[in-house]
Amino acid sequence: MQEHDVQADETKGLSSIEAAERLKRYGYNEISEKEESKWHRMFRRFWGPIPWMIEAAALLSAAAQRWDDFTIIMILLLVNSGVDYYQESKALNAIRVLKQRLARKALALRDGKWVQLPSRELVPGDVIKLTIGNIIPADARLTGGGEFLSVDQAALTGESLPVQREAGEEVYANAVVKQGEMTAVVTATGKATYFGKTVALVAKAQREEHSHFQKMVLNVGNFLIALTVVMIMVIVTVGLYRHEPTLELLVFALVLMISAIPVAMPAVLTVTMAVGASALAKKEAIVSRLAAIEELAGMDVLCSDKTGTLTQNKMDISEPYVDDAESADALLLYAALACQEENEDPIEAPIFAYVKAQGLYEKLSGYTLEKFLPFDPVGKRTEAVLTVKTDKSELTVTKGAPQVVIELCDEG
């Protein structure tokens, strides 16, 4: 079991060589999806009520030795299947590329340095840092670096409220960090995680059902096929009763079948939805099933718990407000001291961008971090306790919501 092989130096993490060896041994930290083979996807285009009727029409053409009709019908069948297959392949490729772009990352300690890695490259024994807002990338055992971690495990355990975890306790993949900041050692990845085992159980019981849209298409096709079969049976019965030539009956049945079957309907529907999937992919929306596009378009009400406003997804620093005795550079330098750059917090990124642009970044090395209190929604601030290297004096820096910082000033 992966849980038993988690030896790692918590100060340096795994080396790149050891990580590569464990990656070969345990595989990627992902739950593999069962991908349909190309041959099966192609064969599926020729299987179903409507393709069967087109194929039956081709057989009737061959039986009636109408080779021109046979050739045209086969070309229609192959073109429809080819277009359908091509458009679905384009949609699947767009989904694959988008998933790669949106892949989660984790902050891991490799070769003594904190680096951002794709979550799928984590291995048992990796030392990772978990901060507020993170989705835990793998099962892990908390080791320290903070006092506690508040974790929302509702999706895994059904618990309605976040639970508090301390050093030595386990946290599970796909849980969400609500408060706190701690380091942890990965104990299990991929299918061996608690989440992976849960997915495996669900997959066994899962049944693929047709969407409302697919049911509608099948109902239309089935109705037309049933109507065609009944009419052909009536015509053939009357023809045989009148002693009509068999060849003429076959030709008549062929004409009726071709005219009644919506030959291009599957291809047209697939192309339409594939175009929609491509348009959504450009907006970074993943469409894993083409039929879901029509399902979503048929919604009357969409409920979402998203809060806030629409933005450009880009943080920037507004004009700092400082007292006459202070400067904006000093303000942003202290703000940077109350951050942890390796966390790559999008809110803190503009602060480091500012201090680098103003040539202040080197001054950060003049301080040694002794203790760091990460941001949490209750306290609404971060706090860093530092030692000034020049005179060994202690400095406490905090940043956070204005009302919280102002209240601290009033207390002082």
Residues in the chain: 412
Alpha carbons 222 and 238: distance in angstroms, whole number: 24
Helices 328-337 and 349-357 pack at an angle, to 10 degrees, of 130
Euclidean distance between CA atoms 135 and 394, whole angstroms: 34
For 145-181, list the strands marked E by DSSP: 149-152, 163-165, 170-171, 176-180
In the chain, the amino acid numbered 166 is E
- Render the burial of 253-292: b for 16+ CB within 10 Å, e for the rest: bbeebbebbbbeebbebbbebbebbeebbeeeeebeebbe
Cβ distance 2 to 186 under 8 Å? no
Q: What sections of 289-384 are H helices per DSSP?
A: 291-297, 328-337, 349-357
- The dihedrals phi and psi of 178, each to the nearest 5 degrees, come to -95, -35
Q: From the candidates 300, 305, 323, 391, which is the catalytic residue? A: 305
Q: Is 305 part of the annotated catalytic residue set?
A: yes
CA-CA-CA-CA dihedral for 290, 292, 298, 301, to nearest 10: -150
CB atoms within 10 A of CB 314: 8
Residue of 91, 95, 128 whose CA lies nearest to 13: 128
407 - beta bridge partners?
Answer: none
Asked if residues 108 and 127 have their Cβ atoms less than 8 Å apart, the reply is: yes
User: 399: burial class by Cβ within 10 Å (0-12, 13-18, 19+)?
Assistant: buried
Beta strands at 170-171 and 381-388: parallel, antiparallel or unpaired = unpaired
Active site residues: 305
